[in-house]
Amino acid sequence: MKTIIMLTDFSENADHAAKTAAKVAPQLKADILLYNTYYDHPILPTYAGGPWVVEEFVFRKDESTAKLSQLAIQLRHVMAGIS
């Protein structure tokens, strides 16, 4: 089985590309692999306002995971033909 790698930054253009890939995937008999990156570093000591705390980076990870889950649900609906 083929796999379509769908990179996303959760922008409007990336969402449109993901939904287009979801429409094409069944015709190609392909799976979709969603991919998003975020910078995961506990402390940035040279930041002008002082070091960033770890919680902000944990928040970014949690936010990215939540958005990927939400996008995966939307793409499943597109692939199933549900509005």
Q: What is the pLDDT of residues 11-24, one digit of tens each?
A: 999 999 999 999 99
Q: Which of 32, 51, 31, 35 is nearest to 43 (CA)?
A: 51
Is residue 30 packed enough to be buried (19+ CB in 10 Å), middle (13-18) or exposed (0-12)? middle
Q: What single DSSP character describes residue 81? A: T
Q: Helix axis angle, 54-80 relative to 12-28, nearest 10°?
A: 40
Residue 25, Cα to own-chain centre: how many angstroms?
A: 17
Percent above pLDDT 90 for the chain: 57
Q: Write out pLDDT tens, residues 25-51.
A: 999 999 999 998 876 655 555 555 655
pTM score of the predicted model: 0.73
Residue 6 is predicted with a pLDDT of 93
Residue 44 is predicted with a pLDDT of 55
Give SS3 for 41.
coil
How is the chain split into domains, by residue range? Answer: 2-80
